[in-house]
Amino acid sequence: MTDFHAQGMATRRRVLGDRHVDKAEAVKTDLDAPYQALITEAAWGHVWSRDTITPRERSMLTIALLAGLGNDHELAMHVRATANTGASPQDVMEALLHVAIYAGVPRANHAIRIAKETFAEMEAAKR
């Protein structure tokens, strides 16, 4: 295990939460283990672990990119992660306004629907 893997796993748990990471680890197989190692080391160990911008800012960037590319499943996951990154619903909306201008209104419209549904689910889970 590399230092980037250990750091990546710690960051991944801090951002996505133990429950999400434990679930992903539980379904990992020999087939996708190399992929899981890659994302843990590269995305979480190399990128998300950097301290040049805040987790809040990184969260907003990630949400904008995922929305602009239409990666809906990942988008909902990262909206849920805002509970851990410090990005507020208003921050998410700001990111999605940028998506509307730079990636297109239909992408932003769809992403806003996903964000609203995800925030509503998060709120309901608190009750």
The string of pLDDT tens digits covering residues 81-95 is 999 999 999 999 999
96, 64 contact by CB (below 8 A): yes
What is the average pLDDT value for the chain, to the nearest integer?
96
Reported as a single tens digit per residue, the pLDDT across 26-58 is 999 999 999 999 999 999 999 999 999 999 999
Is residue 9 scored above 80 in pLDDT?
yes
pLDDT at 2 over 90: no
Q: Are 123 and 85 in contact (CB under 8 A)?
A: no
Could you tell me which CATH number the domain at 53-127 has? 1.20.1290.10
Q: What is the pLDDT of residue 115?
A: 98
Position 1 pLDDT exceeds 80: no
Per-residue pLDDT at 11 exceeds 70: yes
What is the pTM assigned to this prediction? 0.93
Q: Which of 81, 30, 73 is CA-nearest to residue 56?
A: 81
- Report, as an integer, the average pLDDT of 99-116: 98
Q: The tokens of 93 are what?
A: 């909306």
Give residue limits of the domains in the chain: 1-52, 53-127
In angstroms and rounded to an integer, the radius of gyration of the C-alpha atoms of the chain is 15
State how far the alpha carbon of 99 is from the alpha carbons of 25, 84, 107, 113, 118, in Å: 32, 22, 7, 13, 18
Asked if residue 83 lies in contact with residue 125, where contact means CB atoms within 8 angstroms, the answer is no
